C-alpha cells in the first residue's frame, strides 16, 4: 500500500487526511526505520508494508469505534506506537496514554511524539501489572487497547482494570479467536467486563485476516487485579 493508496482507502472509509497529517505519517515511517537500525522495534520496515500493516491496520479500529470526540485511550505494550499513535494523528483530540515495559521503546516514542508535535500524549515506562494497580489510572480510560500475542484472558487482566465503567477493552488479533474468547469469558466476568462481539475483516491489498475483540466494562474490577508481575501469564484466571 503506497501512501497515496493509504490516503485514498481511508477517504473511502470517511477519514480524510490533510497534507499535514500525511506529512506526519511520512516522518513516522522515517523515524521508525531509522530507530529500527539500532533497536528492535518491528520486523516490518518496507514502506508499503508499514503503511498497510502498521498504519492502516491501527486506524482500522476507527471503522468500528468513535474516536472523534475527546475520548481517552490507553495503549498497553504499544511497542513502536501501534495502534495509538496512528489514531492520534488521525484524531488530534484523542487523549493518548502509552505504557511499555521497555525504556528504549519509550525513548523512541518520546522523540516521535516531539517530532510529530503531538499534544496530550503521556508515556510511561512501566509493567502493565504495576501500572494497573495505580489509583490514578484505574478505571480512567474510555478505551484500552492491546495489539499483542498474549492470550485474551491474560490481556483482560492487564487491561480491564484501566477501563472506565461502560468503556471498552479492544484486543487486536491476527487470527479468529473463538477458542480464546470461550476460555477468557470467566476471567472477563471476574474482572468486571462483558464480551460484546468479535469484529472480523480483511486488510486491503493482501486480504490478511484481522479481528477485534470488544469487551465492555460493566462493573469495577476487584482491587487484587492485576496481580504481581508475571502471574497473569504464569497463572491465567480461569
Concatenated DSSP letters of 151-199: -HHHHHHHHGGGEEEEEEEEEEESS--HHHHHHHHHHHHHTTEEEEEEE
Specify the pLDDT at position 163. Answer: 98
Is 30 annotated in a binding site? The answer is no
Is 77 annotated in a binding site? The answer is yes
CB 99 within 8 A of CB 88: no
Rg (CA), the chain: 17
Is 23 annotated in a binding site? The answer is no
Specify the pLDDT at position 175. Answer: 80
Is 210 annotated in a binding site? The answer is no
Q: How many residues does the chain have?
A: 238
Specify the pLDDT at position 59. Answer: 97
Q: Quote the DSSP letter at residue 220.
A: P
Question: How far is the C-alpha of 83 from the C-alpha of 56, rounded, in Å?
Answer: 9
Q: Quote the DSSP letter at residue 1.
A: -
Is 209 annotated in a binding site? The answer is no
List per-residue pLDDT tens for the chain, 238 residues long.
Answer: 999 999 999 999 999 999 999 999 999 999 999 999 999 899 999 999 999 999 999 999 999 999 988 899 999 988 899 999 999 999 999 999 999 999 999 999 999 999 999 999 999 999 999 999 999 999 999 999 998 778 999 999 999 999 999 999 999 988 877 889 999 999 999 999 999 999 999 999 999 999 999 999 999 999 999 999 999 999 999 8
Specify the pLDDT at position 105. Answer: 95
Amino acid at each position: 500500500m503506497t501512501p497515496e493508496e493509504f490516503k485514498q482507502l481511508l477517504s473511502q472509509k470517511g477519514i480524510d487526511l490533510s497534507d499535514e497529517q500525511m506529512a506526519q505519517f511520512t516522518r513516522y515511517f522515517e523515524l521508525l526505520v531509522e530507530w529500527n537500525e539500532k533497536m528492535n522495534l518491528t520486523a516490518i520496515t518496507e514502506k508499503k508494508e508499514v503503511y498497510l500493516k502498521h498504519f492502516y491496520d491501527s486506524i482500522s479500529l476507527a471503522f468500528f469505534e468513535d474516536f472523534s470526540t475527546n475520548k481517552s485511550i490507553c495503549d498497553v505494550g504499544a511497542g513502536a506506537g501501534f495502534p495509538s499513535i496512528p489514531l492520534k494523528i488521525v484524531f488530534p483530540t484523542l487523549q493518548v496514554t502509552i505504557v511499555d515495559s521497555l525504556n528504549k521503546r519509550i525513548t523512541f516514542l518520546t522523540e516521535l511524539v516531539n517530532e510529530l508535535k503531538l499534544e496530550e500524549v503521556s508515556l510511561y515506562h512501566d509493567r502493565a501489572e504495576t501500572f494497573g494497580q495505580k489509583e490514578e489510572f484505574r478505571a480512567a480510560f474510555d478505551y484500552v487497547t492491546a495489539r499483542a500475542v498474549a492470550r485474551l484472558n491474560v490481556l483482560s487482566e492487564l487491561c480491564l482494570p484501566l477501563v472506565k465503567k461502560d468503556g471498552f477493552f479492544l484486543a487486536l488479533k491476527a487470527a479468529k479467536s473463538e477458542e480464546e474468547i470461550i476460555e477468557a469469558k470467566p476471567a472477563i466476568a471476574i474482572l468486571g467486563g462483558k464480551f460484546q462481539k468479535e469484529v472480523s475483516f480483511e486488510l486491503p491489498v493482501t486480504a490478511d485476516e484481522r479481528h477485534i475483540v470488544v469487551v465492555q466494562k460493566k462493573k469495577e474490577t476487584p482491587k487484587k487485579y492485576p496481580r504481581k508481575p508475571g502471574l497473569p501469564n504464569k497463572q491465567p484466571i480461569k
